Chain A
Amino acid sequence: MQTVPEASRSRVLVTGVGVLSPIGSGKVRFYEALAAGRSGAAQVTRFSTEGLGRSVACEVKDFVARDHLSPVESRRMGRCSAMALAAARMALADAGLQANAWEDRTRVAVIVGTTMGEADVLESLDQTLVRSGAGAMQRSHLARVGSTLLPTHIARAIGAEGLTMTLPAACAAGNYAIGLAYDLIRTGKADVVVAGASELIQQLQFSGFVRLAAMAPEMCRPFDKNRQGILLGEGAAVFVLESEAHAVRRGAAVQAEVGGFGLTCDAYHITRPHPDATGSVTAMRRAIAEAAVTADDIDFVNAHGTGTKANDTAETAVMNEVFQGKRVPISSLKSMFGHCMGAASAIEAAACIFTIEQGIYPPTIHFETPDPECDVALVANVAQRGAHRIVVNNSLAFGGYNAVTLFAQPGVLVPPNERPRAFFSARTESSS
């Protein structure tokens, strides 16, 4: 088995977390809400849900853009970009870093995941177009539409000049952003990556999920026999990821290590996961293998756990296949803050950091009735304490996208140069 040269491999460390969520914004409030098992569900306030038969979602209620952004920035951005930038500033502050004070700004990258980006701006433009014609569309709104703006706003604000990228990977976008950041740092392409995801709730998306019959009426009950689907959520989570050398040079406090990333595609159905979950299984195994640990070493799994019939049974299959009978504690935090779409796996990654740091497994709230088809070791209703050396963050998405990240306590994993390099090259080499 081939190993990557030592000089090009680095530990990838989490040194800053910024989060805006329906159960509380800022790390302290978010962590308190996770431990308390708080619900962020309420009647939708930002648009009318009349006639849709569903009216509950998990909005971020405590976000005021001008608290985080300059007046110019506020005018220039829609809610999605504004939340992303606010979370990025929180992450930098948490990491003890200052904007525009980099060792080498060309080695600072910014990666943001999303599903729809500035969807509310686009929706507003579309409505204007339909009602009043093209001449009524505001030029300032037109300039705010592209998802590519999300990371460029952050890069501009913090003074980053490395890779700047938007990954529209639907509900796995947060893990995609963290995973690519992990790849860039461990292979020596960047010293620091500001990575995360952002998403907002807007009317078309809400209506679409209602029409897909995928939305629960009042609460999301993942893994429950009587689960009725998702609740929409929104928010942003952004992380400062650093190479070990960079973090050591500045004496940074390390919160966790990103140890693995698994990525596959089902190529099965545009909205449903593969019932055998073969792609998800491969992605999770890969994330675990990259960290040079085994399934037996995993202490906790953050489930994608949407609360739909298809997702939760598929994810149960993943747990059974990967862990082969070991009852690894698992929880779906979408029961608390809804399905935050592109931001979901980023916000849930922040929860994984919470578990790594505090040894608390956040609960799956609203759980009442076990489902024999979802026989998992669920952390039901009340947070639990437990081993917290290594946790896995699972995500699936429209398009059959599967992405898994693995987080570990600092110092738990073997050094990167002692980790095996497997999968495709191993297969190619063995067959050549």
Chain B
Amino acid sequence: MKLVITGYGIVSTVGVGNEAFERGLSNLDAQTATKPSSDATGAPLIREIPDFDPTPWLGEKGLRSLDRLTKELVLAARFALHDAGLKKDGAYVSVDAEAIGFCCSNAYGSLEAINELDRVAVLEDARYINPSKFPNTVSNTAAGYASIWEDVRALNVSVSDGNCGSLDTFVLARQFFETDRASVLAVGGGEALSESIALAFGRLGALVSECVIGEGASFAIVETAAHAAQRGASPIAEVLGASTTFGATATDSLFVPAERALVRAIDEVCAQAGISADSIDAVFGSTSGLHAFDRAEERAVRARVASPTPFVAPKSIFGESFGAAGALATAAALATFKGHRPTFLGDGPLPRTILLTALGYYGNAAAVLLRRASLDSSPHA
């Protein structure tokens, strides 16, 4: 079954909306890290979406009870559904709501909502917590709101697999197409910056000394090539493979850069694609400034994809955005296929086949292999 990506949507630190994002990818001025606003000694640098305001696209009605994560996800989903031509002016034009689903990654839920209600419980009394905010504390609520706002009804599956999560959603998508659970899937994830996440990672300072915390949300629209052809959609990319693995069974340490598991994930996606790793033109990795993990990831990648094939770090412009990380890197890959050159890619020909990799903190690893769609790509190839 050939799967293709026919559109994407993104809310990111380098641009809100696809056009702004594609401009920002190649503009260093759009990629500046900022300090958290609170007085948080030792807190890491953060990359925050500046003055994030979704009202130009979502309007004002109904936004008041939504938290930042929800707004980011809803907006990214809306951009993606329109970019893929599934919606026009807010209405579906070529597919039923019952045939579209979400596979959405998020690592920490809405810490903003949890912290706000905990603060009320501690400083005032639990009986005074705002009931309209309580649902926001549940991990899948942001994805649930996105399905309501965008009328997505085939399925809604949330994943919480740390910084491997949004590559894992491609694994789910492949599975759900194979078992025929949807015709189209919006695949990706989101993570919102909050004071508590910045403070917590600041407290883990030894681990994150060079790590910049980021945020954002992105969805890629995935469907079978046959379905895309049937509705006249033009693919941006082909999903050649997706794999998620685990490799912390031989160690006592809680934090495990599972190098061997990542090699296995790379082997699996190449096997699914039926190509050799030699065919990979660039690797968009998950290196973030955590040295042990960065070195392990580089060793795993270089075990299969030799230099001088570029091994680059999208997090150098997005920061570490955990559950959204793979989704943001995917968006960067799709923009690259469209001819935009991210600053982190450097010079040289734009890649046609991109491997995305992720190495989790607790032994997870994931890989996704994308190829730029050919103009003559056959839906049955």
Contacts and interface: CB of A to CB of B under 8 A. Distances in A.
B207 to A, nearest CB: 9
B138 interface: yes
B140 A142 contact: no
Interface in A250-264: 263-264
B74 interface: no
Interface string B311-341: 0000000000000000000000000000000
B26 interface: no
Q: How large is the interface on A (under 10, 10 to 19, 20 to 34, 35 or more residues)?
A: 35 or more
A130 B196 CA distance: 10
Q: How large is the interface on B (under 10, 10 to 19, 20 to 34, 35 or more residues)?
A: 35 or more
Given A137-B203, A148-B362, A160 B40 contact: no
B179 A152 contact: no
A185 B135 CA distance: 34
A115 B148 contact: no
A197 interface: no
Interface in A131-162: 131, 134-135, 137, 139, 142-143, 145-149, 152, 155-156, 159-162
A148 B165 contact: yes
A153 to B, nearest CB: 8
Nearest to A432: B230
Contact of A149 (B168, B181, B362): B362
Interface in B241-281: 244-249, 252, 254-255, 261, 264
B121 A117 contact: no
A51 B114 contact: no
A398 B159 contact: no
B244 A166 contact: no
Given A116-B139, A399-B156, A152 B248 contact: yes
A266 B175 contact: no
Contacts of A163: 171, 244-246
A43 interface: no
Contacts of A383: none
A125 B197 CA distance: 11
Given A142-B200, A152-B363, A265-B156, A130 B109 contact: no
A422 B180 contact: yes
A161 B129 contact: no
B343 interface: no
Given A126-B196, A152-B363, A167-B159, A208 B148 contact: no
A276 interface: no
Nearest to A207: B126
Nearest to A143: B254
Nearest to A426: B180
B107 interface: yes
List 10 A-B pairs, minimum CB-CB distance, nearest first. A399-B144, A168-B139, A208-B134, A126-B118, A207-B126, A211-B131, A164-B246, A265-B156, A134-B199, A147-B160
Interface of B: 40-43, 97-99, 101-102, 106-109, 111, 114-115, 117-119, 121-123, 125-127, 129-131, 134-135, 137-141, 143-145, 147-148, 150-162, 165, 168, 171-172, 175-176, 178-183, 196, 199-200, 202-204, 226-227, 230, 244-249, 252, 254-255, 261, 264, 360-364
